Structure 1
Amino acid sequence: MQPLQDTNVLVLGLGSSGLAMARWCARQGAASVTVADTRETPPQLAALRAAVPDARFVHGALDAALLQPVRADLLLKSPGLTPAQVAAVVEATRADGIPVAGELDLFTQALAGLRDTQAYAPQILAVTGTNGKTTVASLTAQLVERAGKTVALAGNIGPTLLDTLVQHLDDDTLPQVWVIELSSFQLADMAAPAPHDATPAFEPTAACVLNLSQDHLDWHGDMASYAAAKARIFGSQALMVLNRDDPAVMAMLPAPVKGRAVRRSTSVGAGVPTQPGAFGLEKVNGMVWLVRAQELDPTIKLRKGQEPEELHMQRLMPAEALRIRGQHNAVNALTALALAAEAGCTLAPVLYGLREYHGEPHRVESVAVVDEIEYFDDSKGTNVGATAAALAGLGAERKLVPILGGDGKGQDFSPLREPIRRAARAVVLIGRDAPAIRAALEGCGVKLVDARDMHHAVDEARRLAHAGDAVLLSPACASFDMFDNYEHRARVFVDAVHALAEDSGQLSQGGMA
């Protein structure tokens, strides 16, 4: 990818990333910036006019005809656009020898330039996965900060990579560590390295793929393409932090090749680690601990037939000391710890940061305790994988009454059968795809109850739950059949729970009494 100065740039899509790319290109001296969008007046149009007054905006179909009136030396694609939406214009662009890239490429190019001009070489910790990205990215940034390092948090979590970089450049506060959350869209849009291309490749210090489950297959086409996009986060040199409980993630670790250095990696999981340096959970005298398997002494050489040195577990902290709930969040905490450790963060302040992290809104967030039943808002659980993780995490502690349903986006709900069978006392179904979920769960030994709306669902869940149980809103579906978005769905759930609390006079907000 060529330098941006004096380049004619065409940006596809005027969302937050498209706007950030347009602003960055103008700042770097692009000869012209054209932004194309299918919408006549996208929400960011006024911001584009204000930030890049000379930018040209065109609307209409994103096809090969778009290139005829537009001179372009570089095509930049916003991650929200599916490959199918832009296939024609991308193919025509590449046929003309014009490079195609995305925001992550511009960010990588910018850091390479700062390295050359200012000797700026930050550590980069990158996070992706179907579920848990925002929690792990936010927690990792907090741990790095508690360890005394300056940190920037950006990417899919918002704000954009380039907007965050600009802010730090303008304030002269370039951080020591970047924690970036990346979606499969952003990773798929990274430019493939071309022969003899001096463009720097994305090479984080450490990166993780938290998990893989069906999501965004309308964008990627199939699970193999989705997994391949996620795996691009590791580059060729990063420490790979892998979820050993997910076979699809573990399959990303390259097989050893004779004569080549073994790829550096570590793993996290819900069980006791079996490899040196790996992280996990261990139950000792009835208490679950976050642990790390200590590294073996490299000076000890095993003789032929000699038993390997016994692994010793370093107990880090009790899982119950975490404010984020559920086994899956304990594993998220271990992942953040592994990333922070690779950035050189010392253990004591990092463990303090783990204890004080409250979690992100609408992600297994405790709402209230009413009549000895705790209510959790996991409205961000919009796919089967997220809900399965929440069920397994909270269900390790108590029985659950989950509220499921909404717009299922064509997902297969059968992977929920086993988590429901293990963790649920009963299930309340809402929304358009309640019948599809019922069909997938029928016969698993758990009572299924239909509800007409969220308030009715909360009432039914309360009726079905026993003292000490939890009611979990984790729909495994999008919200658009009944609500404006997942935040709106959460607000209605919280309102319904608070209505119960007012009726009972026994409200304890935000956790157990």
Structure 2
Amino acid sequence: MSYNYFGKKILILGLGLTGISCINFFLKKGIKPRAIDECKKPNFLDKIPKDIEYRLGKLEKDWILESDLIVISPGISSFKSILIKARSLGIHIISDIELFSRETKCPIISITGTNGKSTVATMVKKIAEKSGYKVFLGGNIGFPVLEMLNQKANLYILELSSFQLETTFSLKSKIAVVLNITEDHLDRYPEGFEQYKKIKLSIYNQAEICLIKLKKGGKKPFDTQFKKYISFGICQNNNYHINYEKEKAILYCKNKKVLDTSNMFLNGYHNYENALISLAISDAMKFNREIAINTLKQFSGLPHRFQTVHINNNISWINDSKSTNVDSTKVALQNLNIKGTIWLLLGGDGKSSNFNILKEYFEKLKIKIYCFGKDGLSLSKLCKKKSVYVETLKQAIILISKKIQPGDVVLLSPGCSSKDQFSNFEERGNLFIELSKEMN
């Protein structure tokens, strides 16, 4: 379908990198949009092209309600009351992903999930590149997607958050996958978890091949119709599954052994499943199986994802700053098997999530929990006997450094957004790395 934007009043909401890319997209079409950012001093103000009219500090009601099309950045909720009103008046509100989907004819691999998106997307990108594809990765990682339209490519990989999927309607993926769905961003969605889940599952709409995780007994985890699907998981009835043999996790395709995970750099069930899904995508794309296996063996992980960043005096410091939800912290704790004490750094903006599922782990483990940030005080009440509340991550690390012993592990797996005290999870993780090397 061809879209005509001429003569339309187009408004860009958000002046981060995504918003700037949207402005440039329309300028190349000879269309001059207007723009708004809720921040009074957005970071990329100097990148706004000349002659673009913009307003800062708040969402201007008049500009919003007189628009024909609004392109919204993922950091701005499409459920704000003024935007709900705009939709009721027939004003179209879309994402940059929607603009991208309308423009490209290249095959797209779309990946979403609460956890593991970046790892799977990067694994698949490396396999595709080694298979001879000119591939670009964007969305929630890498390039703003509209910038990828300027690149010569024969494959795109999109890592997509629920924020981006909220306002995406024309995405037609060659392959789409939902890795997992657990509670996250409940402060964003008025209808709670079911609304978040529904938005995640929308990635399957119009997809040619859907990768889905079957429940025990081969049951689909949700009521969705598929043209064609490939299943994955731990159960043998899946097309791709994981089986444990002599305490080794083995990846299988249609009951044929494909990869012994003891030959991989990465460990932990979540990483084995990431590799399994990457293998399934690779096979569906008809990439060379040997190239795929060798790439998965050599993949050493991404920064800030359960990454051992410092070892001294038999004390390990693990940076899992990308843990921005409860389930990711649970997974991190499950992957630790030590005799010493776990010193867990937990805290930030909990996004209205239910942290009670961690209580059973806290009670069973030899653990001390240092809670910090916006929701640190309430988190410290989960397991009062083992918890300490402090205001900042740095204060917590200073206190921990005075008590740790050989054989212990210091784990930054906050289970929360970093935005209360940091620009992003990378800044939080980098501070942890810096302090870990200073303290011992």
User: What is the SS of the residue equivalent to 2:347?
Assistant: coil
Question: Aligned partners of 1:351, 1:397: CA distance in 2, in Å?
Answer: 30
1:74 paired residue among 51, 60, 69: 69
Give the letter for the 1:239 counterpart.
I
Question: Aligned partners of 2:223, 2:363: CA distance in 1, in Å?
Answer: 32
User: What is the SS of the residue equivalent to 1:43?
Assistant: coil
User: What is the SS of the residue equivalent to 1:324?
Assistant: coil
Q: CA deviation at 1:397?
A: 8.0
Residues 92-112 of structure 1 deviation map (CA, whole Å, 9 limit, x = unaligned): 4652x443322111111111x
Identity of aligned residues (%): 26
2:250 paired residue among 279, 289, 293: 289
Question: What is aligned with 1:177?
Answer: 155
Asked if 1:129 corresponds to 2:113, the answer is: yes
1:473 paired residue among 412, 427, 430: 412
Asked if 1:83 corresponds to 2:47, the answer is: no
Question: What is aligned with 2:280?
Answer: 338
Question: Aligned partners of 2:423, 2:37: CA distance in 1, in Å?
Answer: 23
For residues 436-455 of structure 1, what are the structure 2 equivalents within 5 Å?
A: 436-441=378-383, 448-450=386-388, 452=390, 453-455=395-397
User: What is the SS of the residue equivalent to 1:427?
Assistant: strand
Question: What is aligned with 1:504?
Answer: none
For residues 185-204 of structure 1, what are the structure 2 equivalents within 5 Å?
A: 185-191=163-169, 201-204=170-173
Asked if 1:241 corresponds to 2:211, the answer is: yes
Question: Aligned partners of 2:131, 2:189: CA distance in 1, in Å?
Answer: 38
Q: CA deviation at 1:383?
A: 1.6
Asked if 1:427 corresponds to 2:365, the answer is: no
Residues 255-283 of structure 1 deviation map (CA, whole Å, 9 limit, x = unaligned): 6xxxxxx64223333x3x32252232x22
User: What is the SS of the residue equivalent to 1:462?
Assistant: coil
Higher Cα Rg, which structure: 1
Residues 168-195 of structure 1 deviation map (CA, whole Å, 9 limit, x = unaligned): 0xxxx2x22211111101101124xxxx
Residues 380-417 of structure 1 deviation map (CA, whole Å, 9 limit, x = unaligned): 2122121112222x136877714132223333211112
Give the letter for the 1:138 counterpart.
T
Question: What is aligned with 1:138?
Answer: 122
The answer on whether the counterparts of 2:240 and 2:276 sit within 8 Å (CA) in structure 1 is no
2:137 paired residue among 142, 153, 158: 153
Give the letter for the 1:88 counterpart.
I
Question: Aligned partners of 1:283, 1:485: CA distance in 2, in Å?
Answer: 37
The answer on whether the counterparts of 1:404 and 1:477 sit within 8 Å (CA) in structure 2 is no
For residues 77-476 of structure 1, what are the structure 2 equivalents within 5 Å?
A: 77-85=72-80, 87-89=81-83, 91-92=85-86, 94-95=88-89, 97-111=90-104, 115=105, 122-166=106-150, 168=151, 173=152, 175-191=153-169, 201-221=170-190, 222-244=192-214, 250-254=220-224, 263-269=227-233, 271=234, 273-280=235-242, 282-292=243-253, 294=254, 313-392=255-334, 394-395=335-336, 401-407=342-348, 408-421=350-363, 424-432=365-373, 433-441=375-383, 448-450=386-388, 452=390, 453-459=395-401, 462-463=404-405, 467=407, 470-476=409-415
Residues 305-363 of structure 1 deviation map (CA, whole Å, 9 limit, x = unaligned): xxxxxxxx322222222222322111111122222222111210011111221211111
The answer on whether the counterparts of 1:104 and 1:186 sit within 8 Å (CA) in structure 2 is yes
User: What is the SS of the residue equivalent to 1:242?
Assistant: strand
- Structure 1 residue runs of 5 or longer lacking an equivalent are 116-121, 192-200, 256-261, 295-312, 502-513
The answer on whether the counterparts of 1:403 and 1:461 sit within 8 Å (CA) in structure 2 is no
The answer on whether the counterparts of 1:14 and 1:36 sit within 8 Å (CA) in structure 2 is yes
User: What is the SS of the residue equivalent to 1:471?
Assistant: strand
User: What is the SS of the residue equivalent to 1:55?
Assistant: coil
Q: What is the TM-score normalised by the length of structure 1?
A: 0.76
Question: What is aligned with 1:508?
Answer: none
Give the letter for the 1:189 counterpart.
T
The answer on whether the counterparts of 1:362 and 1:379 sit within 8 Å (CA) in structure 2 is yes
The answer on whether the counterparts of 1:63 and 1:89 sit within 8 Å (CA) in structure 2 is no
Question: Aligned partners of 1:486, 1:246: CA distance in 2, in Å?
Answer: 35
Question: Aligned partners of 2:14, 2:143: CA distance in 1, in Å?
Answer: 17
User: What is the SS of the residue equivalent to 2:97?
Assistant: helix
The answer on whether the counterparts of 2:176 and 2:207 sit within 8 Å (CA) in structure 1 is no
Question: What is aligned with 2:17?
Answer: 16
Question: Aligned partners of 2:417, 2:141: CA distance in 1, in Å?
Answer: 18
Give the letter for the 1:440 counterpart.
L
User: What is the SS of the residue equivalent to 2:351?
Assistant: coil
Residues 48-79 of structure 1 deviation map (CA, whole Å, 9 limit, x = unaligned): 22xxx3422234543542257x6x44222222
Question: What is aligned with 2:35?
Answer: 35
Name the stretch that deviates more: 54-63 or 154-163. Answer: 54-63
Q: CA deviation at 1:378?
A: 0.2
Give the letter for the 2:360 counterpart.
E
Aligned length: 431
User: What is the SS of the residue equivalent to 1:130?
Assistant: coil
User: What is the SS of the residue equivalent to 1:490?
Assistant: helix
Give the letter for the 1:109 counterpart.
R
- Cα distance change of structure 1 residues 59 and 286 upon mapping to structure 2, 3 Å threshold: closer
Asked if 1:65 corresponds to 2:50, the answer is: no
RMSD, matched Cα: 2.9
- Structure 2 residue runs of 5 or longer lacking an equivalent are none
Q: CA deviation at 1:245?
A: 6.7
- Cα distance change of structure 1 residues 125 and 481 upon mapping to structure 2, 3 Å threshold: closer
